[in-house]
């Protein structure tokens, strides 16, 4: 049995507080007229001063409570540790943020023994906190949420993201997009994978798929969907989505059909 300090509910409190701390930095920067000091990390992959400030706020809070834990954060080097690993995206939706498009979030998850056991995704624009602890369900601003009751892919409103970091999978992705445009009720592309997962978890959207993501993009969001009663897999119907970055998340009723459509495009 995990020690009390590693209980999912205890770790969730830290995840929620850390996500809120990062989100408060994002909110302040979004309203400010100060330059964002945008730097290019790679093709279509940006980092701003606010990314770093938000990450500092998240890391500082986690470090204060769990100084021995490991850290895996998007904008800094991996910090080794023991007992648990925190997986942090201080600003998921940087391109949206740069363009003042109000869809972005801070995502914080924690992994113990190779399994994500708690996670939080905070949208500072709407002041919405999506949170989940393993075995304890998912919540939105403290109220329990469930995935939608959608039972047919033809009725599903789906969301995706474009593989902007690497174009190697673009042909397969475009094939999956065409397939799902034809077989679902609609597709959205909002630019923040963690929030996309939060929206699936609370039933605003019926499914999410994307390829080539990083662990910090989806660690918290995947747990949200699962704890809200949904299913999350990689493109091989396995559990390797944090390693491959290829993810399909949806209510269980449509997951087999949804996954099959994605698989047919990526074969």
**183-232 pLDDT tens trace:** 999 999 999 999 999 999 999 999 999 999 999 999 999 999 999 999 99
Task: Strand 128-133: give its sheet, edge to edge.
Answer: 70-73, 85-92, 105-112, 115-123, 128-133, 138-140, 143-145
CA distance readout (Å), 263 to 164, 175, 218, 244 = 20, 10, 20, 14
Please give the sequence-ordered ranges of beta strands (E in DSSP) within 134-172, or none if there are none: 138-140, 143-145, 157-160
Residue 42, Cβ density class (10 Å: 0-12 exposed, 13-18 middle, ≥19 buried): exposed
**35-91 pLDDT tens trace:** 666 666 545 445 678 889 999 999 999 999 999 999 999 878 789 999 999 999 999
The domain limits of the chain are: 4-145, 153-266
What is the chain's Cα-based Rg?
17
CATH of 153-266, one of 1.20.58.390, 1.20.58.100, 3.30.530.20, 3.40.190.80: 3.40.190.80
- Quote the CATH superfamily of domain 4-145: Fructose-1,6-Bisphosphatase, subunit A, domain 1 (3.30.540.10)
Find tokens 């309203």 and name the residue. Answer: 31
Helix 49-65 / helix 8-31 crossing angle, nearest 10 deg? 150
């Amino acid at each position: 049995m995990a020690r009390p300090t590693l209980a999912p509910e205890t770790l969730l409190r830290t995840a929620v507080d850390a996500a809120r701390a990062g989100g408060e930095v994002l909110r302040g920067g979004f309203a400010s007229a100060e330059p964002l000091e945008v730097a290019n990390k790679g093709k279509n992959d940006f980092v701003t001063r606010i990314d770093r400030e938000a990450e500092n706020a998240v890391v500082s809070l986690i470090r204060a409570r769990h100084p021995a834990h490991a850290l895996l954060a998007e904008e800094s080097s991996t910090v080794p540790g023991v007992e648990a690993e925190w997986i942090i995206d201080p600003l998921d939706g940087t391109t949206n943020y740069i363009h003042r498009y109000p869809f972005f979030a801070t995502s914080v998850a924690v992994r113990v023994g190779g399994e994500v056991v708690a996670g939080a995704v905070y949208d500072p624009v709407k002041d919405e906190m999506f949170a989940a602890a393993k075995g304890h369900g998912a919540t939105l601003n403290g109220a329990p949420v469930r995935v939608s009751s959608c039972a047919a892919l033809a009725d599903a409103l789906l969301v995706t993201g474009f593989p902007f970091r690497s174009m190697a999978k673009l042909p397969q992705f475009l094939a999956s997009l065409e397939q799902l445009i034809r077989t679902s009720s609609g597709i959205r592309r909002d630019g923040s994978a963690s929030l996309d997962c939060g929206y699936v978890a609370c039933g605003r959207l019926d499914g999410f798929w994307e390829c080539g993501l990083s662990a910090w993009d989806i660690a918290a969001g995947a747990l949200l969907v699962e704890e809200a009663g949904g299913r999350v897999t990689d493109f091989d119907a396995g559990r390797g989505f944090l390693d491959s970055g290829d993810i399909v998340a949806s209510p269980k009723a449509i997951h087999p059909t949804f996954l099959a459509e994605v698989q047919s495009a990526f074969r």
